[in-house]
Amino acid sequence: MSAGEQQPAERERTSEVRGVWFVTAASYCEKRFGAAALQSVTDEMPAPHRRALLNPDGNAWYPESMMQTSIAAMERVLAQGDSERFTGIIEGCTEEGVGLAFRVFLRVTTPAFVIRQIPFMWRQIRRGRGTVEVSPGVASASVRYGDFPYFDDPRYRLLTEGSLRALVRIATRREPDVRVVDFTRSSLHVDIRYFR
């Protein structure tokens, strides 16, 4: 394990990620960087976690630790430690994961509507720990995550930033300003400005 990665305590093991995240990440990484790069990413992961990216089941639930080691390996191998590059990779994964029909739907809604759907989207991709509260406005929004003990890992903050930026960009067809305002080990506050 490298900096930022942690062995979750027993109470934290209840956090799980739906396999569709791994399917999307593997697909995006292979398309964007090639099969050899995806293999290099999985080679950086602990052996028991490699299957999450090499042979993901979109309907299965995986322990949070598999996501943590996946994004850590992606950050090391594909982004080479560059946080902007890593955030761009996460944005690409998110855009890849938004299907064509959902993309069309997002484009005919308001940014505030998309923001209000974030708690629902969280529950579709995660189960167990974590809460999400949103405060959408006409030109900006605030998103607060709680009871999720991974936000001291900078990759999780970048993951959140990139995912939110991609979703709002699809809805507005503009580049939103997404900023982490504050965080603790188990909470994160993000502000999004979608109209300037």
HSE value, Cβ hemisphere, 13 Å, CA-based, for 2: 16
**Residues 154 and 4: beta-carbon distance below 8 Å:** yes
* Mean pLDDT (whole number) for 125-132: 95
**How far is Cα 128 from Cα 97, in angstroms, rounded to an integer?**
22
Q: Residues 176-189: pLDDT tens digits?
A: 999 999 999 999 99
Range of the domain at 36: 15-78
Portion of the chain with pLDDT greater than 70, in percent: 92
Strand partners, 63: 16
Query: What pLDDT score does 102 carry?
Result: 75
What is the distance of C-alpha 76 from the center of its chain?
16
Place 108 in a pLDDT band, splitting at 50, 70 and 90. Answer: confident
Cα gap 33→35, rounded to integer Å: 7
pTM score, two decimals? 0.87
Q: Is 85 a member of any domain? A: no
Same domain, 122 and 72: no
Instruction: Using the predicted structure, report yes or no on whether residue 83 has a pLDDT greater than 90.
Output: yes
pLDDT band at 100 (very low <50, low <70, confident <90, very high): low
Stated length of the chain = 196
Q: Please state, rounded to an integer, the average pLDDT across all residues of the chain.
A: 91
Please indicate, yes or no, whether residues 59 and 126 belong to a single structural domain of this protein: no
Q: Tell me how far apart the alpha carbons of residues 52 and 69 are, in angstroms, rounded to a whole number.
A: 10
User: Are 56 and 20 in a shared domain?
Assistant: yes
Region label for 81, one of left (φ > 0), alpha (ψ between -120 and 50) or beta (otherwise): left
pLDDT at position 109, please?
83
In a domain, 151, yes or no: yes
Q: Find out whether 161 and 167 touch, Cβ atoms under 8 Å.
A: no
Helix (H, G, I), strand (E, B) or coil at 188: strand
Q: What is the pLDDT of residue 8?
A: 47
Same domain, 193 and 158: yes
Q: Which of 42, 71, 65 is nearest to 159 (CA)?
A: 71
**Which of 135, 25, 131 has the alpha carbon at shortest distance from 79?**
25
* 74 in the same domain as 28: yes
Query: Could you report the per-residue pLDDT of 51-70, keeping only the tens digit for each?
Result: 999 999 999 999 999 999 99
Integer Cα distance of 125 and 139 in angstroms? 27
